[in-house]
Amino acid sequence: MAAFKIPDLNDRAAAARAAKQRALDLLRDKPAPDPEVIAAKQAAAAAKEAAAAEKRAARLAAIEEEKAAKAAARAEAEAAAAAAAAERAVVRPQLTEAEKKAERDARYAARKARKK
């Protein structure tokens, strides 16, 4: 069995130079990219980006539409509540303090009667 040989600095440097030269040869032998293929890839990437931008715009438009619908519904509910409050104010005249006290007492008595 052969003994393990520890390479010296010159051996390691020569191996590194040889590896670097092999990598450069492989890179140099590599054919140049075809301009048509590059153009096709760029066109596909641009089409993909355009589709993504259109999808984002559609999603944002849907979100804005939903916000507008919620705001309209909220405004409608507020208007209905204001109309109901105005109707109650018109239908029910201002009560005097004695009438308010009588209503409170009646509610209190009804609550007490329900508990029994």
Sign of the CA dihedral 77, 81, 86, 90?
Answer: positive
Q: Give the per-residue pLDDT at 3.
A: 66
In a domain, 24, yes or no: no
In a domain, 11, yes or no: no
In a domain, 85, yes or no: yes
Q: Give the per-residue pLDDT at 33.
A: 85
Mean pLDDT, the chain, rounded, equals: 89
| Lowest pLDDT segment from 16-25, 83-92, 104-113 | 83-92
How distant, in Å, are the alpha carbons of 35, 72, 106 from that of 45? Answer: 15, 40, 77
Query: What is the tens place of the pLDDT at every residue in 35-83?
Result: 999 999 999 999 999 999 999 999 999 999 999 999 999 999 999 999 9
In a domain, 7, yes or no: no
Query: What is the tens place of the pLDDT at every residue in 26-37?
Result: 988 888 889 999
Assessment of whether the complete model's pTM goes beyond 0.95:
no
Q: How many domains does the chain have?
A: 1
In a domain, 110, yes or no: yes
In a domain, 60, yes or no: yes
In a domain, 28, yes or no: no
Q: Give the per-residue pLDDT at 93.
A: 65
What are the helix (H) ranges across the chain?
9-29, 35-91, 97-115
Structure tokens at 2: 């052969």
